Structure 1
Amino acid sequence: MTRISTIKFALLMVTCLALGRPVAHGQASEVTIDLDVAKTYQTISNFAASDAWAGQFVGNWPDAKREKIADLLFSLDNNADGSPKGIGLSLWRFNIGGGSTQQGAASGIRDEWRRAESFLNNDGGYNWQNQAGQIWFLKAAKKRGVNQFLGFTNTPPVQFTSNGKAYANGGKVNIAPDKYDAFAGYLVNTIKGIEKTSNVKFNYISPINEPQWDWSDGGQEGCPYTNSEVAGLVRSISSKFNEKKIGSRILVAEAGSINYLFTKGDKAGKGNQVSDFFKAGSPNYIGNLPNVSHTIAAHSYFTTSPLASSVKARKALADTIAQVKGLNFWQSEYCILGDNGGEINGNKRDLGINAALYLASVIHTDLAVANASAWQWWTALSAYDYKDGLIYVDKNKTDGNFYSSKMLWALGNYSRFVRPGAVRVAANVSSGSINHLLVSAFKKGKALTLVIVNPSADAVTIKLNVGAAKVQFASSYLTSQNAELQAGKISGSSSVIPARSVVTITGSIKKSI
């Protein structure tokens, strides 16, 4: 979809996409989608989610339940009717804990489910039996074909923090520079220990999470950093990785909002991270360090509503990143937070299609406007009454029930079919009355995939125009209130996109332009 078409959609949807307020009947019942498979954009790296926080417990649940949950998240197999068994995540994020679990109530983190174990003992030794539930999910992901793994830390281990806690005091960094090397050494040992324990290698290490926030309320593990502190820590980690021949790439800096990548923001010394970290000549330049991924990562929180503003911010982000040759953007964490300008509220679970449609619109905008090459959800498993889970679980440490959401399957419309190495190609809704479809398209070799989001109350007939190319469309996969990647067939160049649905169409390019 072109940016102009996306903006039209945004203006329409500001008042229409809120929960219970679908786009009015009678609008655009038939449209043409123009595809240009020769016009390419970013290459997709992965779609992902994380094991925080419930993975530490659910990974120890009875086999039948945890295996089913792993199938939902990672499987690339199909059911008998051709519908996918799971959403085929292509990267799994592992929370390398700071040790608040071992501290118990003395940690100051009130909710046991938001504490995290560490492998490091107080005597300097390591216990590789810790984080066993999370290790189980690592193995389950690899068994089902996941081959990208990322280890992230929300805080340095409590043995290295300034206050001995896994959260900070007064919004100040919680690790002194003379402990940077110790933290780096811990990461080296953890990478090696996990590989030995699980046979999983971390492709990426993300040592910093949302450095703009204070992390001083004891709600979870966390540590703030200024840009100069980020750069100092990354230099130590890069040096240690280089010395110890660690192949994991360092991902920075998981900004709490995309605006901190290209604006000064409201936190002194914590904004303009693209230029600060990746433009030569900056005092905080780390883009040329060994092991540092040529990728800038941020979270889409607080910038998704209204959609017109969302589009504007993502266009500015894409323009800023384009100024640094070869730099990629990863949207590395998102769930539905806050009230989003009245469009949708993060409170209360929503297992149905309303939250899924909102999520799909965020994914689309991050991919088609911000040119994100990776899109990563926050908590794969949630025990809370909040829109933060793909799969919801009972808050029970040893057993319980689980409940899949339509958000899981809407993400699957992308993750299951847009595989690593796919390249986004031009897709534009070109004709019809005021249209409200969100369309993105991707090719990998001869395979072609379209993802179409229809948030309106009416079905839409689409005609696919591939110009001089020759494309054979074959299958469709529907997520709606009553379907979860339900498989269907498509012949010719026309198809019906049901009301309030996300549809993936797959095919093959027989002849390029």
Structure 2
Amino acid sequence: MIAAPGTALVRIDTNVRHQSFEGWGTSLCWWAHHVGGWEEARRNAVVEAVVDPVDGLGYNVFRYNIGGGENPSHEHMKQHREMPGFQRADGTFTWESDANQRAILLRIAERGTALIFEAFSNSPPYWMTHSGCASGSSDGGDNLKAEYYDDFAHYLTEVVRHYRDEHGIVFRTLEPLNEPHASWWKSNGSQEGCHFDRASQEKIIQEVAGQLASKGLDGTVVSASDENSMDDALRNIDAFGPATLAAFEQINVHSYAGSKRKELRRLATELGKRLWQSESGPLGQDISDDTDAALFMAERIIKDLRELKPEAWVDWQSGDPSRSWASFTLDDREQSYAPIKRFYMHAGFSRYIRPGATFVEVDSEDMVAAVSADGSYLTLVARNGDRNASRGYTLDLTRLPTVGPAAEGHRTSRTEDLARLPDMAIEDYRLVVTIPAYSITTFVIPMP
């Protein structure tokens, strides 16, 4: 096929299949802890914005934070970041804790579809730590006391059991670690965190897996290790011993830092582990406005999906005081939310690439393509990061088994919020499109 004048030729090949996709998601801390305290109808409206696949984000993957619980005498964590814990120092459990996050979780369970739940921990309870503080140790080193590894695993697995037995929520995975290699988790910090060196990671992974098994919690398996850097994840997991590798079934990684996406994908495949991009956001980026945040994150998503090839892509915060991290703003006085650019950017992926889709080959680093679970359509998402010039493409569809007469389009830019475009004619398996400067466009190509 020859490209139309002034356009670049891009081939899509549905015969070259990549990861089968489980879905899109978000963690629940800290926004659910925040919004869960609103009046019921108003917090439910936020849940609809997150789970509705037509007018909302259509997310189906949710990470529930098992709070460690901070020392009651400490007052250093930022608002909404001090997550309630369930276990007192005397060993007794207080299941009435964490009512806000739980309210959101249970509403999601009522309203969402094809749901996958994960439970994760940022820190052990403060009384299990060396520093007596849930934000980290005094020097950024290991903070869980040696004699409390079994107690910490007991704590996490008891929470999993409680949610299964009392609320009917089965967490498919339980993650006892969060950015454990990082050395910035120090006492008197702004949020929960805990360093674990590699040997300590292996110890807690095996302990949690053992207690899940001994308690008959066979619906839940361990995931690890949620490193901040993909390079750290690759290095540490590649060095895990056989007993540790056998103790967990899913690799979680954050895509904030590192470059070894392809290498980590290869390792996950070799080990037979499911791989999630379990947290991301514009960490350390100079973001000047909402559109910059949307375009940056669209680039991150596309790169992750093309190179890391995760089975799920999970955002960190759907609502956050920092706009560049959020898909919607939150107004406590009115108990209301308002979508911003990242909402529409994410929806351009998540409404049209649905759970069960399979990613396929497209030979442009600025695009991803996926075939729907039923094979009835292909979704292509294209990003143009040039601030000044549009880009033209001739999409070669000859490697699709069949195509319909026209493609549907949706665009987010500085002036558009997932705006519906006029249908575009497909002629002789060729679709000619223009992506305006600094925009993200979703094309839905029927395959009847």
Shared fold, TM over 0.5: yes
Asked if 1:221 corresponds to 2:175, the answer is no
Contact 1:29 1:459 in 2 (8 A): no
Structure 1 equivalent of residue 237 of structure 2: 274
After TM superposition, the structure 1 stretch with the greater mean CA deviation from structure 2, 156-165 or 240-249, is 156-165
Asked if 1:133 corresponds to 2:100, the answer is yes
Q: Separation in 1 of the partners of 2:397 and 2:272?
A: 29
Q: Separation in 2 of the partners of 1:328 and 1:188?
A: 21
Q: Separation in 2 of the partners of 1:192 and 1:326?
A: 27
Q: 1:445 aligns with which of 358, 361, 374?
A: 374
Q: Separation in 2 of the partners of 1:399 and 1:151?
A: 30
Q: Separation in 2 of the partners of 1:90 and 1:508?
A: 24
Return closer, same or farther for 1:197/1:490 CA change in 2, 3 Å cut-off.
farther
Q: Separation in 2 of the partners of 1:370 and 1:57?
A: 32
Deviation (angstroms), 1:321: 4.2
For structure 1, the 5+ residue unaligned runs are 1-27, 79-84, 263-271, 304-309, 340-344, 430-436
Asked if 1:241 corresponds to 2:204, the answer is no
Q: Separation in 1 of the partners of 2:169 and 2:416?
A: 34
Q: 1:419 aligns with which of 350, 354, 363?
A: 354
Asked if 1:301 corresponds to 2:256, the answer is yes
Q: Separation in 2 of the partners of 1:212 and 1:445?
A: 41
Q: 1:464 aligns with which of 395, 411, 424?
A: 395
Aligned residue pairs: how many? Answer: 429
Deviation (angstroms), 1:414: 1.9
Q: Separation in 2 of the partners of 1:356 and 1:201?
A: 33
Query: Matched residue of 1:300: which SS?
Result: strand
Contact 2:229 2:256 in 1 (8 A): yes
Return closer, same or farther for 1:242/1:319 CA change in 2, 3 Å cut-off.
closer
Q: Deviations over 1:264-317 (max 9, x none)?
A: xxxxxxxx123123xxxx3x642222xx21x322212234xxxxxx5xx33444
Contact 1:128 1:197 in 2 (8 A): no
Structure 2 equivalent of residue 428 of structure 1: 363
Deviation (angstroms), 1:417: 2.1
Deviation (angstroms), 1:174: 1.7
Structure 2 equivalent of residue 81 of structure 1: none
Amino acid at match of 1:363: I
Matches within 5 A, 1:65-464: 65-76=42-53, 78=54, 85-100=55-70, 103-104=71-72, 106-107=73-74, 109-146=76-113, 147-166=115-134, 167-214=136-183, 215-217=185-187, 218-246=189-217, 247-262=219-234, 272-277=235-240, 282=241, 285-289=243-247, 292-293=248-249, 295-303=250-258, 310=259, 313-322=260-269, 324-339=270-285, 345-346=286-287, 350=289, 352-384=290-322, 387-394=324-331, 396=332, 400-429=335-364, 438-443=366-371, 444-447=373-376, 448-456=378-386, 457-464=388-395
Contact 1:50 1:93 in 2 (8 A): yes
Query: Matched residue of 1:483: which SS?
Result: coil
The one of the two structures with greater contact order (alpha-carbon pairs below 8 A, sep at least 6) is: 1
Query: Matched residue of 1:151: which SS?
Result: strand
Deviation (angstroms), 1:412: 1.9
Q: Separation in 1 of the partners of 2:36 and 2:201?
A: 32
Contact 1:62 1:399 in 2 (8 A): no
Deviation (angstroms), 1:401: 4.4
Deviation (angstroms), 1:212: 1.5
Structure 2 equivalent of residue 478 of structure 1: 411
Q: Separation in 1 of the partners of 2:151 and 2:52?
A: 38
Q: Separation in 2 of the partners of 1:207 and 1:399?
A: 36
Q: Separation in 2 of the partners of 1:33 and 1:122?
A: 60
Contact 1:460 1:498 in 2 (8 A): yes
Contact 1:331 1:376 in 2 (8 A): yes
RMSD: 2.4
Amino acid at match of 1:68: A
Contact 2:212 2:221 in 1 (8 A): no
Query: Matched residue of 1:407: which SS?
Result: helix
Contact 2:174 2:221 in 1 (8 A): yes
Q: Separation in 2 of the partners of 1:160 and 1:408?
A: 39
Q: Deviations over 1:309-364 (max 9, x none)?
A: x5xx3344444545x2423432211111214xxxxx15x6x3x3221111100110
Return closer, same or farther for 1:119/1:399 CA change in 2, 3 Å cut-off.
farther
Q: Separation in 1 of the partners of 2:142 and 2:75?
A: 17
Return closer, same or farther for 1:110/1:142 CA change in 2, 3 Å cut-off.
closer
